[in-house]
Amino acid sequence: MKEISTKHPGGVALLAEPILNKGTAFSVEEREKYGLLGLLPPHVETLPEQTDRAYEALKAKDTDLERHIYLRALQDTNEVLFYNLVISHVAEMMPLIYTPVVGEACEKFSEIYRRPRGLFISYPQRDEIDRILDNAMNETVKAIVVTDGERILGLGDQGTGGMGIPIGKLALYTAAGGVDPSVTLPIILDVGTNNEERLKDPLYIGWREKRISGDDYFEFVDRFVQAVKRKWPNVLLQFEDFAQAHAEPLLAKYRDELCTYNDDIQGTAAVAAGTLLAACKMLGKPLSAHHIAFLGAGSAGAGIAEQLIRIMKDEGLTDAEARERIYMVDRYGLLHSEMDGLMAFQERLVQDHASVASWSSSSDGSVSLLDVVKNGMPGILIGVSGQHGLFSEQVVREMAKNTERPIIFPLSNPTSKAEAVPADILEWTDGKALIGTGSPFAPVTYKGQVHHIAQSNNTYIFPGVGLGVLASEATRVTDNMFMASSQALADLSPALKDPAAPLLPPVSDIRAVSRAVAFAVARQAVADKVAPDRSDEELERCIDAAVWTPVYNKLT
């Protein structure tokens, strides 16, 4: 944690540093010593008093966007207070600083912009990246979340407005994972935007050009990655919300070169697998006994599918047997071996055309989701299409015909993009469905029974991965580490003790969940020899020592 030294100039400069500022909690003595006399109202508050006051101010706001703006301003003013407020009311705060409200904040980024945070690296500055990194406010950087803003949740290209996502993700590294905020750095690579609305908007504060693409794009990202490696060789670099054409190729290119992962591919896979493992345990039926249909064969869909295939193989299936159980439905129907124009990662997930051709009910021969549900009889349905409402009543009712307890996960974000809403799914399945959603949903009462909805969002994984990687000093992020995180999450499922309980622990338990995920990740990093050899007890100690909690430091 960054501390105030006696060399600090104090005064307004101290109040302007959110990581050091205590606001009204500066003691009389500190006010004297650091040139703060008269700069603050006279009453000295405690952190709990400040937190209560901030909470009241927040509640007085009329809309969630205003609450988001308030919280962001607080984060940029006094981080201890911000995190204390968020952690004290985490279930209420998470949707405001993260999904779904962060989506609207990205769309309106230019309108609501107040102060800078993190680094903006735009294409015209491609020769200055080393200098830009030198300008970071942090003394030390251990975790970066970077986006290029092209696929912000299911909201598409938001250009520089995408910066809201790395800020929100890193806020959860700290609030949920306990990572010291002073070592985290959000970055946007502004390579332009193809969003016409943004380009035409006189208020837009990004680089007003069409996106660069092809070799220019990959060369630019490479300049960035190489500069990061020079400046912070051991940093954890998380890629977030890149478009499909870039996400997987960038992961493949860099995963063996530095400590990096793609949250939409790997973090999502881990949370979906963890939630499904819990569902399978609860139903007493292994994952490999199910057929699984996906709507959306993109980064998230393929990431989850490959993780589920790994689990099925661990359960005893061959690779081919496992792949046969996975149906990937994209825009043009079920992926099959005769389809053109697939990305390499999709080609690994096709069905043999001969075995599915007869399923089509369409004159063009394509196999729709409904065709898949009727013929393939999946027990599990996962939505990662970014498209609202595609789990239609007909699809869901058809599924319920063939399966006693259909497992239905509309994972697309934000709320407006969910493939179906829990109330409808419960209605169409007569309360039988096991549900996981990407965005938070309120409990649903169906026929007198209250159903709490699991939020199967990668937020159950990435903060713990961050903490586990940093605490164990891992140098790479392996697939096994994500598998271990899935298992740790599944083991915490309340549904294992009470079949009527949700599949995942409540968001209010997120710090304990992240702690367990961190330990599992750290342990696997040691086992995979990507972290120094340490016993479980040593790892526990390292994690405890790494956890940051919001308390004001005594000034030296």
Ligand X SMILES: O=C(O)C[C@H](O)C(=O)O
Ligand Y SMILES: NC(=O)c1ccc[n+]([C@@H]2O[C@H](COP(=O)([O-])OP(=O)(O)OC[C@H]3O[C@@H](n4cnc5c(N)ncnc54)[C@H](O)[C@@H]3O)[C@@H](O)[C@H]2O)c1
Q: Per CB under 5 A, which region of 55-63, 197-205, 239-247, 300-308 contacts Mn ion?
A: 239-247
Q: How far, in Å, CA of 48 to CA of 69, rounded?
A: 22
Whichever of 151 and 325 has its CB closer to Mn ion, that residue is: 151
458 is a site residue for ligand X (CB under 6 A): yes
Of 99, 238, 260, 485, which one interacts with ligand X (CB under 6 A)? Answer: 99
| Binding track, positions 202-241, relative to ligand X; x by CB under 6 A | ---------------------------------------x
Residue 2: closest CA among 109, 141, 108, 187: 141
Quickly count: other Cβ atoms within 10 Å of residue 130's Cβ: 13
How many residues bind ligand X, per CB under 6 A? Answer: 9
Q: Which partner in ligand Y, ligand X, Mn ion, none is near 290 (CB below 5 to 8 A by kind)?
A: none
Cα 122 off chain centre by: 23
Active site residue 285: no
Residue 190: closest CA among 204, 203, 201, 200: 204
Closest separation between CB of residue 271 and ligand Y, Å? 6
Whichever of 402 and 416 has its CB closer to ligand Y, that residue is: 416
Q: How far, in Å, CA of 328 to CA of 369, rounded?
A: 9
346 is a site residue for ligand X (CB under 6 A): no
306 is a site residue for Mn ion (CB under 5 A): no
Q: How far, in Å, CA of 148 to CA of 537, rounded?
A: 39
| Binding track, positions 304-343, relative to ligand X; x by CB under 6 A | ----------------------------------------
Of 45, 107, 264, 306, which one interacts with ligand X (CB under 6 A)? Answer: 264
Whichever of 21 and 299 has its CB closer to ligand X, that residue is: 299
Closest separation between CB of residue 459 and ligand Y, Å? 7
413 is a site residue for ligand X (CB under 6 A): yes
Active-site entry in 34, 83, 98, 254? 98
Percentage helix, strand, coil for the chain under 3-state DSSP, each rounded to 5: 50, 10, 40
Of 262, 437, 457, 514, which one interacts with ligand X (CB under 6 A)? Answer: 457
Write out the two tokens for 94: 């998470």
Identity (one letter) of the amino acid at 552? Y
Residue 428: closest CA among 389, 377, 455: 389
Residue 484: closest CA among 454, 461, 466: 461
Q: Which partner in ligand Y, ligand X, Mn ion, none is near 271 (CB below 5 to 8 A by kind)?
A: ligand Y
Closest separation between CB of residue 411 and Mn ion, Å? 11
Identity (one letter) of the amino acid at 539? L
Residue 156: closest CA among 103, 93, 78: 103
DSSP line for 443-456: -EEETTEEEPPEE-
415 is a site residue for ligand X (CB under 6 A): no
Whichever of 23 and 154 has its CB closer to ligand Y, that residue is: 154
- Residue number of the CB closest to ligand Y reads 298
Q: Buried b / exposed e across 97-128, counting CB within 10 Å, b at 16+?
A: bbbbbbbbbbbbbbebbeeebbbbbbbeebee
263 is a site residue for ligand X (CB under 6 A): yes
Closest separation between CB of residue 267 and Mn ion, Å? 8
419 is a site residue for ligand X (CB under 6 A): no
Closest separation between CB of residue 193 and ligand X, Å? 18
271 is a site residue for ligand X (CB under 6 A): no
| Binding track, positions 249-268, relative to Mn ion; x by CB under 5 A | ---------------x----
45 is a site residue for Mn ion (CB under 5 A): no
Active-site entry in 169, 173, 261, 460? 169
Instruction: Please return the burial class of 5, using the count of CB atoms within 10 Å of its CB with bins 0-12, 13-18 and 19+.
Output: exposed
Those residues whose C-beta lies under 8 Å from the C-beta of residue 176, and which sit 6 or more positions away, are: 90, 94, 459, 463, 464, 510, 511, 513, 514
Q: Which partner in ligand X, ligand Y, Mn ion, none is near 179 (CB below 5 to 8 A by kind)?
A: none
Applying the rule CB under 6 A, the residues between 234 and 253 that interact with ligand X are: 241
Q: Which partner in ligand X, ligand Y, Mn ion, none is near 309 (CB below 5 to 8 A by kind)?
A: none
- Computed on alpha carbons and rounded to an integer, the radius of gyration of the chain in Å comes to 24
Closest separation between CB of residue 332 and ligand Y, Å? 8
- Secondary structure of 314-330 in HEC code, one letter for each residue: HCCCCHHHHHHCEEEEE
Instruction: Please return the burial class of 392, using the count of CB atoms within 10 Å of its CB with bins 0-12, 13-18 and 19+.
Output: middle
Beta bridge pairs of residue 328? 294
Active site residue 169: yes
Q: Per CB under 5 A, which region of 221-229, 240-248, 378-386, 510-518 contacts Mn ion?
A: 240-248
Applying the rule CB under 6 A, the residues between 427 and 456 that interact with ligand X are: 438
Q: Which partner in ligand Y, ligand X, Mn ion, none is near 164 (CB below 5 to 8 A by kind)?
A: none
Q: How far, in Å, CA of 497 to CA of 483, rounded?
A: 22
Residues binding ligand Y (CB under 6 A): 151, 153-154, 244, 264, 268, 271, 295-301, 329-331, 384-387, 390, 411-413, 417, 438, 456-458
Residue 177: closest CA among 465, 548, 463, 517: 463
Quickly count: other Cβ atoms within 10 Å of residue 324's Cβ: 16
Helices (H), 420-496: 422-428, 462-472, 479-491
Whichever of 148 and 241 has its CB closer to ligand X, that residue is: 241
Catalytic site positions: 98, 169
Residues that bind Mn ion (CB under 5 A): 241, 264
Residues that bind ligand X (CB under 6 A): 99, 153, 241, 263-264, 413, 438, 457-458
